[in-house]
């Protein structure tokens, strides 16, 4: 029996970013041609989560706040 350990990926965005596109590292490892995820985080929000088009969760953290 084998087990896969899935870890939540963390991406950092600039302090003033509202909309962003980031790389999903799990998709990149699987050979996805465009391993990206898009999201929004309002300026008064310090952290959040998004999912890529394949359902991988990415934690978003705002830098410098």
pTM over 0.85: no
Angle (CA) 11 59 17, round 5°: 55
Which pLDDT value is given to residue 3? 46
Quote the Cα angle for 32-22-48, to 5°.
Answer: 120
Q: Binning pLDDT at 50, 70 and 90, where does residue 64 land?
A: confident
- What is the distance between the alpha carbons of residues 51 and 2, in angstroms, rounded to a whole number? 25
Distance CA(13)–CA(41), nearest Å, equals 9
Quick: pLDDT tens for 5-59: 467 899 999 999 999 999 999 999 999 999 999 999 999 999 999 999 999 999 9
SS3 at position 20: strand
């Amino acid at each position: 029996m084998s087990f896969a350990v899935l870890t939540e990926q963390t991406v950092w965005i600039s302090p003033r970013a509202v909309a962003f596109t980031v790389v999903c590292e799990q998709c990149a490892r699987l050979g996805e041609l465009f391993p990206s995820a898009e999201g929004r985080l309002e300026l008064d929000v310090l952290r959040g989560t998004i999912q890529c088009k394949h359902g991988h969760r990415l934690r978003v953290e705002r830098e410098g706040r």
